[in-house]
Amino acid sequence: MPVTSERLLEVSDLQVEFRTRDGVARVLNGVDYSVDAGETLAVLGESGSGKSVTASTIMGILDTPPGLVTGGSVRYRGEELLTATPQRRRELRGEHMAMIFQDALSALNPVYTVGFQIAEQLRTRRGMDRRAARRRAVELLDMVGIPAAKDRVRDHPHQFSGGMRQRVMIAMALALDPDVLIADEPTTALDVTVQAQIMDLLADIQAERHMGLILITHDLGVVAEVADRIAVMYAGRIVENADVGSLYAKPCHPYTLALLESIPRVDSKGTELTVIKGLPPNLTAIPPGCPFHPRCPMAVDRCHQVVPPLEPLPDDRSSACLFAKELVSR
Amino acid sequence: MTLLLEVEDLVKHFPVQLGIVFKRTVGHVRAVDGVSFDLHRGETLGVVGESGCGKSTLAQVLMRLEPPTSGRVRFHGEDIFAKRGRALKALRRSIQLVLQDPYTSLNPRMTVGDIVGEPFEIHPEVAPKGERRRKVQDLLDVVGLNPEHINRYPHQFSGGQRQRIGIARALALRPEVIVCDEPVSALDVSIQAQVMNLLGDLQREFGLSYLFIAHDLSVVRHLSDRVAVMYLGKIVEIGSEAEIYSRPSHPYTQALLSAVPVPDPTMRSRRDRIRLSGDVPSPVDPPSGCRFRTRCWKATELCADAEPALVSRRGGHHPSACHHAEEQHVVAG
């Protein structure tokens, strides 16, 4: 494997289409982001913004068809993944990058014990014998905070509670020591007290192993608590990318600004919420120009014509808005 | 303020049965286990709690979709469970329901006009036949939908618009109380605010009372005048919005509030977090005494022996079901 000073994982200008009966849905229209070792990148967006499709493309588990990668690149330590052989991608999955999903009950196989499912990859990839793999599975379950791991290793997924199942999936993802972990809405289905436990666990593991963590979520609260950097997605594009402090202190894209103003907060009682009018665009008919312009309070005529590129701003941040410079110097 | 709804020691147990031909009852899921509260006209009472705490069962019993095991609910002073026939039909007009999932709570084979107008079929006295179409269009207008879309089907609308259809249907009979069971949980962030503002506007316009059930504490704080916190079928703390959020006195409320992520990265280090260990125990076999004691850091022997009543104690000014209740500031603001 070539060792270079490249970023751990870098996605640039990624484009993905879905060919559907209703026409071509342009799901990703040039996604750029990167993550370094020990860094937590939060990918924030509403449903349909393309955050999960980006993750599936990185992992090489995008369903093709209907999905089709039409351009761009995904590099892991400088190595291009989109043109890599299926065999090479298989080597990278699990060993170097792993993913955890929102719904652990459907991500785990209901007919095998959790111990078997964790041990399976250790046996096929590491050539461990049954007993050693089982022992390692117990260690992993113990590490993710499952009480009485030694007994629970023989249980099936349905015997665990929602939070415990999520822990099992985290244990499985960590079995082969990946250095990139993609967590796709890992706590969305969980109750708030359990969500806090799982986010703490992910943060601890990430710090301990110095992993790059890509956290996909729509929850602005979760992001504020754990992320280092944030990439905000809208209609298959990154519209803003900044470190967590500056993004919340001074959003430089009207969409981010509107999102932050539209959420109710537990620490204050507001009166009326500021509403983002309209709906996210239909991906088979994305409006010309900036995709956010029909909903944007700042839109001018030029926004209907040009697609604003993701341009760098001071403080190592970037925004895809014609008014980014005005917004940053507010 | 007029008292509309009085709930007194409401209990709903579901039997747990084993066997295929000869069923025997091996226990009970104590979904709602002695809940009491009042609801006044024009008021929003928020009910928060984690999944399995009984908040949706509470909604179903109040709607008379499930018979209660015991307890009483009075609406305008009259027992709702004693009502039959015509009186029950009149009651159903006054209490309506908005459900969580706008994808499954609308019939896909009916047009929007039929869905919103269906309540008039059952209660023809509200709108004579000739006026229905216009009434439905008025309702669509009230909830912010285009009245010309009356002949469309639910799949032609987005999630937020579908939730508006559900709200229009609930409004059709001019109810006094609307029970909202997680009305915004299935919606996207940018759409949530639209629906929450709509609910607020409708309340002011029609003088509605809401029983607002949700697991999202931020959403509940935004809309509620008073808040009840539920844990394993019981209300553990009830009080005004300010009392619950600024001066919570039950350890569970404190833990719940401290677990909610705040969208402000500068608060990261400043917040004292309370982290609960473990999961909610099974409602089939809840712990003795205080139900929260297995996860509580304040638990003593007293908590295992005696169940704490929901009363105001010296440690707080609003009712809290904890022997060791003590007001504590958990979230800023």
Question: B86-110, pLDDT tens digit by residue?
Answer: 999 999 999 999 988 878 889 999 9
Mean pLDDT value across residues A119-137: 92
CATH 3.40.50.300 fits A9-96+180-328, yes or no: yes
> From CA A139, how far away is CA A150, in angstroms rounded?
9
Banded model confidence at residue A197, pLDDT cuts 50, 70, 90: confident
User: What pLDDT is attached to residue A215?
Assistant: 94
- Nearest 5°: the CA angle B311, B316, B318 is 50
The two structure tokens encoding residue A141: 């379950």
Question: Which of B156, B189, B201 has the highest number of chain A CBs within 10 A, making it the mutation to test binding with A?
Answer: B189
User: What pLDDT is attached to residue B140?
Assistant: 93
User: What pLDDT is attached to residue B333?
Assistant: 47
Rg of chain A over all Cα atoms, to the nearest angstrom: 21
Is pLDDT at A2 greater than 50 in this prediction?
Answer: no
For B160, residues 6+ apart whose C-beta sits below 8 A from its C-beta are: A279, B187, B188, B191, B194, B195
Q: For residue A144, give Cα distances in angstroms to A15, A139, A140, A163, A195.
A: 36, 9, 6, 11, 14
CB-nearest to B218 from A259, A266, A280 is: A266
Mean pLDDT value across residues B200-219: 92
| Mean pLDDT for chain A overall | 90
Banded model confidence at residue B177, pLDDT cuts 50, 70, 90: very high
* CA B327, chain centre distance (Å): 25
Q: What percent of chain A has pLDDT over 70?
A: 98
User: What pLDDT is attached to residue A88?
Assistant: 92
Q: Does the beta-carbon distance from B264 to A248 stay under 8 Å? A: yes
- Residue bearing tokens 């089982």: A134
pTM: 0.87
B12 touches chain A (CB under 8 A): no
* CA B237, chain centre distance (Å): 15
Buried b (16+ CB within 10 A) or exposed e, B75-107: beeeebbebeeeeeeebbbbbbbbbbebeebbe
CB-nearest to B275 from A162, A196, A249 is: A196
Please name the residues between 116 and 155 in chain B that touch chain A, using a CB distance below 8 Å.
Answer: none
Mean pLDDT value across residues A34-59: 92
Is pLDDT at A5 greater than 70 in this prediction?
Answer: no
Mean pLDDT value across residues B231-260: 92
Buried b (16+ CB within 10 A) or exposed e, A74-87: bbbbebebeebeee
Sheet holding B177-181, edge to edge: B95-98, B177-181, B209-214, B44-48, B226-231, B234-240
For residue A222, the chain B residues in CB contact (below 8 A) are 261
Mean pLDDT value across residues A6-26: 89
Other Cβ atoms less than 10 A from the Cβ of B129: the count is: 9
Mean pLDDT value across residues B67-95: 93
Mean pLDDT value across residues B301-327: 87
Q: Does the beta-carbon distance from A269 to B245 stay under 8 Å? A: yes
ipTM score of complex: 0.82
Other Cβ atoms less than 10 A from the Cβ of A92: the count is: 19
Helix (H, G, I), strand (E, B) or coil at B309: coil
Is pLDDT at A1 greater than 60 in this prediction?
Answer: no
- Identify the architecture of domain B3-224 in CATH: 3-Layer(aba) Sandwich (3.40)
Rg of chain B over all Cα atoms, to the nearest angstrom: 21
Banded model confidence at residue A37, pLDDT cuts 50, 70, 90: very high
Question: Which of A198, A267, A275 has the highest number of chain B CBs within 10 A, making it the mutation to test binding with B?
Answer: A267
- Residue bearing tokens 């022992």: A135
Is pLDDT at B270 greater than 80 in this prediction?
Answer: no
For residue B267, the chain A residues in CB contact (below 8 A) are 224, 267
> From CA A50, how far away is CA A184, in angstroms rounded?
12
Residue ranges per structural domain of chain A: 9-96+180-328, 107-177
Is pLDDT at A257 greater than 60 in this prediction?
Answer: yes
Phi, psi of B103 (to 5 degrees): -85, -30
Least confident of A207-216, A264-273, B33-42, B64-73: A264-273
Of residues B272 and B47, the one with the higher pLDDT is B47
Q: Does the beta-carbon distance from A220 to B276 stay under 8 Å? A: no
User: In residues, how long is chain A?
Assistant: 330
Banded model confidence at residue B189, pLDDT cuts 50, 70, 90: confident
Mean pLDDT value across residues A57-63: 91
Is pLDDT at B7 greater than 90 in this prediction?
Answer: yes
Q: How many CB pairs under 8 A join A and B?
A: 136
User: In residues, how long is chain B?
Assistant: 333
Residue ranges per structural domain of chain B: 3-224, 249-333
Mean pLDDT value across residues B306-312: 91
| Mean pLDDT for chain B overall | 90
Q: What percent of chain B has pLDDT over 90?
A: 64
- Nearest 5°: the CA angle A57, A221, A321 is 60
User: What pLDDT is attached to residue A189?
Assistant: 80
Mean pLDDT value across residues B54-62: 92
Please name the residues between 33 and 72 in chain B that touch chain A, using a CB distance below 8 Å.
Answer: 50-51
For A223, residues 6+ apart whose C-beta sits below 8 A from its C-beta are: A42, A44, A215, A217, A230, A244, B263
